Chains A and B, each alone.
Chain A
Amino acid sequence: MAARPRLGVFKLASCDGCQLTLLDLEDELLAIAAAVDIVHFPEASSDMDPHGRFDLTLVEGSVSTPAQLDELRAIRAQSRTLVAIGACATAGGVQALRNFADHREYVRAVYATPAYIETLAQVTPIAAHVRVDFELRGCPIDKGQLLELISATLVGRRPDIADESVCMACKRAGQVCVTVAHGQPCLGPVTHAGCGALCPRFSRGCFGCYGPRERANTEALADHMQAEGVSAASLVRRFRLFTGWSEAFRAESERHDD
């Protein structure tokens, strides 16, 4: 019997929420554990082995400190397939909002001894530093998608995770469009699907947790929202959330921020 594939789970600057999604897979966790050796999983056990090679590595969190950058490079060197999971790892996360301001001021305001706090000038997603084989979006990630990602990667299939708008999922679910029927602003048309149109299902516009989809025409959407009465300040807030540091959303929020 060949060695079983090794699954590594690592975290950088993040809240652990995405890793918890893995634990949240309760029913399926046994099947995963039967199929792979879970080698490094700080959230689940203290018995970790950060050395050796990983067939599939899931990395949560963004890069905020020089130490994290070093760690990330080491992880990459040991990984066959490296997947960035969650908004922090794929777009910087909420902590990347400090990039829009002078972060030294934050550090001074928050910490008693700011000299101990060593930070990089900007919080960045993983792909800014190392090659990433797949980005699993979301804040937090969706457990169904995580399961599909693991199952697919283990057999060498492309995960059935399409880079398409939230509208596609919303319409497949038979959800009534909140923009058209209720006049609510919604980032669904420019946001990567994956949540199953969760907010529209609760009659709320999409907040863009999964970050921009390919060809996100944020400008057309923002122009339309503005024509419908959404203020520039509100547009900035909408595009500057969990994935505000992604290129498309950042450019859009900057367009309205003066």
Chain B
Amino acid sequence: MSARLTHDGFRRLLEQVREAGYALVGPTISDGAIVYGPIAGADDLPIGWTDEQAPGRYRLRERGDRAHFGYVLGPQGPRRQLTPPVETLVRIRLGPRREQGPRTPEGVEAADEDGEPLALIGLRACELAAMAVQDAVWTGGPFVDPRYARRRERALIIAVDCLEPGELCFCVSTNTGPGVEAGASFDLRLTELGEEFLVEVGSERGQALIDGLGELAEPSTAQLFAARTQGVLAAAMELHGRERQLDLDGLPELLFANLDHPRWDELAARCLSCGSCTLVCPTCFCHRVEERAPLDAPTSERVRHWDSCFTDEHSRIHGAQFRPQIRERYRQWMTHKLGAWVSQFGTSGCVGCGRCIAWCPVGIDITEEVAAIRAAPVAPDDAEPVALPPATTVPALAGDPMHPQLARVVSVREELREVVTLAVEPVGVFSHAPGQFNMLGLPDVGEVPISISGQAGGELLHTIRAVGAASRALVALEAGDRLTLRGPFGSAWPLAELRGHNVVVIAGGLGLAPLRGALREMVAHPERYPSVRLLYGARSPEELLFADEILSWDRSIRFAPTTAPAVLESGHVKVHVTVDGAAPGWTGHVGVVTKLMRRKPLSAHARYLVCGPEIMIRFVLRELETIGVAQDQVWLSMERNMKCAVGMCGRCQYGPHFICKDGPVFRWDAIAGLLGREGF
């Protein structure tokens, strides 16, 4: 179906869209730029104006005609409307103030307000491509963000072909333009040809609008079609002949093989780490989640803000900052956008719009940077594997993954100084596998990832060390209190795969907690796990976690302080414990866990599970390498900053992986190329 519209017909079309109850969003002139935002009708369009763009430079210019869409792209696209820069996720009703400890939650309400559906007017081919990328992020599964999904599903899309591409466009390289393809996701597609529009219908909604125009929608003509084809072709040819191209061929491999290229240092000398490129890019999606609770407010809000891999907090966890340097941040942006994206979402993250080039305050040009690395790669034949399957795939959660349930603390057990185990009773059936984690939180304070350290009947155990604001508040909870819980998330220890094998578990410090569920399973089933050895290291005897339980697994070990343990007779479990620093009365091993590994001959054929501080994991792996253990026999658990736990906030990225959903448990070979590398 198609039609031909004059300017009057087009004006009426927009009126009709508004009458149908849509909020019009389109290009309009504001602050010396053509910005994408609310408009009242056709008069608000930048009629007769165009933009001139260069790296770090954007200017408006009058065209001398009445073109409605005679410009290219403004600073931000519809990402702003579909994932607002600041958005409330849920509202949590707060309990009364207490003498000690934080306020606890009393109820959770969804915060999504269904406003008018959006009519997104004037979207270019690259913007439709970007929207498809955003669809994959927010709705591509296994988790779906209902806020995005709803806005996107209701939105009416009026797309426009590009016949006059801008100076910075390179959509031909990325195969995302300049013409809007017939199969793309639009309701109507416009081609502006002189004083007329050729309209192609893409949906029933679109057809109804055209039908509603009556006589104003004239039949399209063969000439108009020919003019469109010619125009799009000419634009494509022009783009093709330009110097600015982005060669996507083998780009992920090229970038990941050149993580130490000198170009990153050169870039760091120019890049301000301001984050502008990420916030104008139509495909970036990183965000943070913060708690907002004014002093006397009865509710606390969990709010999502646009964030960027150029900020400090993005890659910070308690006690570590993984990307302190600008070179590492720029490298994250580029290796994600043009590399890791492909394995995460099956497509490049760049749609060739040129926004990051125009709106970089110092005019850094991503295509130039790629070309420089391509021209002189430092490690051309040594590409590291980028696309690898996650350790274990997990079933999706139904419903809003950001909407927590209110769980009840049944008991609190003090394990060590500043470490407690909360036994938490979730609402409804809750099934998890050892190694997975939950997001535990309190209104007023926030949410943090905590591994499930075991299950006792219907109660989930979480062993938590108080290190900062959120963990301290969780540790301060008392039996009967409620908290917010989302989960379970992430991959699990490969218990099924371990059956019949000799298993060695190596844990450091609190790293024993995520392993306890798996250990309990193996201890209880000698017929499945013929030999299980635990090598456990802690800083001092007072820092030994679950000491009584460990003793109960292996009667032969002795270390102080001992209590009389319940003894398991099977004898298939051996436990070795070491402490970094000796103390009076300590009769066990002294030294780090790798030293213990050398003392206790380990088999090259066993299966290994490793969890603890990252530095310890790396030393353990080095040790395993020397005894000839293959990478596909080892699993380990990783930690990074996490805000969503469902692959949407972007914070936990580790090269091609999201640690929250592809991990936290990885088989060693999946991440071997990145482990220990600065900046990841």
Chain A positions within 8 Å of B, measured between CB atoms, are 1-2, 28, 31-32, 34-35, 147, 150-151, 154-158, 160, 162-165, 167-168, 171-177, 179-183, 186, 188-190, 203, 214-215, 217, 219-221, 224
Contacts and interface: CB of A to CB of B under 8 A. Distances in A.
Interface string B527-540: 00000000000000
Interface residues of B, number: 61
B295 A35 contact: yes
Nearest to B473: A156
Given A174-B76, A180-B359, A181-B58, 10 more contacts: A156-B102, A157-B444, A164-B275, A164-B311, A165-B273, A168-B274, A177-B58, A217-B326, A220-B271, A221-B272
Contact of A151 (B269, B295, B363): B295
A224 B361 contact: yes
Contact of B292 (A160, A180, A182): A160
A1 B85 contact: no
Contacts of A221: 272, 361-362
B273 A162 contact: no
Contacts of B31: 175-176, 181, 203
Contacts of A151: 293-295
A188 B581 CA distance: 49
21 contacts: A2-B100, A151-B295, A155-B103, A156-B469, A156-B472, A157-B291, A160-B290, A164-B313, A165-B273, A171-B279, A171-B280, A172-B306, A174-B35, A176-B31, A177-B359, A177-B361, A180-B75, A189-B273, A190-B272, A219-B269, A220-B271
Nearest to B37: A174
A167 B37 contact: no
Nearest to A177: B359
Contacts of A165: 272-275, 310-311
A150 B296 CA distance: 12
B305 interface: yes
Interface of B: 30-33, 35, 37, 56-59, 75-76, 80, 85-86, 99-100, 102-103, 269-276, 279-280, 288, 290-296, 305-308, 310-313, 324-326, 358-363, 444-446, 468-469, 472-473
A143 to B, nearest CB: 12
A224 B359 contact: no
Contacts of A180: 56-58, 75, 358-361
A181 B312 CA distance: 27
Contacts of B37: 174
Nearest to B53: A180
Contacts of A155: 102-103, 293, 444-445
Given A157-B469, A176-B32, A164 B279 contact: no
A124 to B, nearest CB: 25
A172 B279 CA distance: 8
A220 B362 contact: yes
Contacts of A34: 295-296
Contacts of A160: 290-292
Contacts of A154: 295
B484 to A, nearest CB: 14
A31 B306 contact: no
A174 B85 contact: yes
Contact of A158 (B100, B274, B360, B468): B468
A147 B296 contact: no
A186 B359 CA distance: 13
Q: Which 9 A-B residue pairs are closest in the complex by CB-CB distance?
A: A189-B274, A171-B279, A31-B296, A189-B272, A172-B85, A176-B31, A167-B274, A160-B290, A176-B33
Nearest to A182: B32
Contacts of A189: 272-274, 276, 361-362
A171 B292 contact: no
A219 B362 CA distance: 12
Nearest to A155: B444
Nearest to A31: B296
Nearest to B80: A174
Nearest to A188: B274
A162 B358 contact: no
Contacts of B358: 180
Nearest to B57: A180
Q: Which of B35, B296, B307, B325 has the most chain A CB atoms inside 10 A of its CB?
A: B296
A158 B471 CA distance: 12
Contacts of A147: 294-295
B31 to A, nearest CB: 4
Nearest to A160: B290
Contact of B294 (A28, A156, A214, A215): A28
B473 A167 contact: no
Given A151-B294, A155-B293, A180-B58, A220 B272 contact: yes
A181 B311 CA distance: 24
B294 A167 contact: no
B99 A150 contact: no
Contacts of B288: 162
A217 B102 contact: no
A224 B274 CA distance: 14
Contact of A150 (B30, B59, B295, B359): B295
Contacts of B103: 155
A189 B276 CA distance: 9
A157 B294 CA distance: 12
A47 to B, nearest CB: 23
B308 A163 contact: no
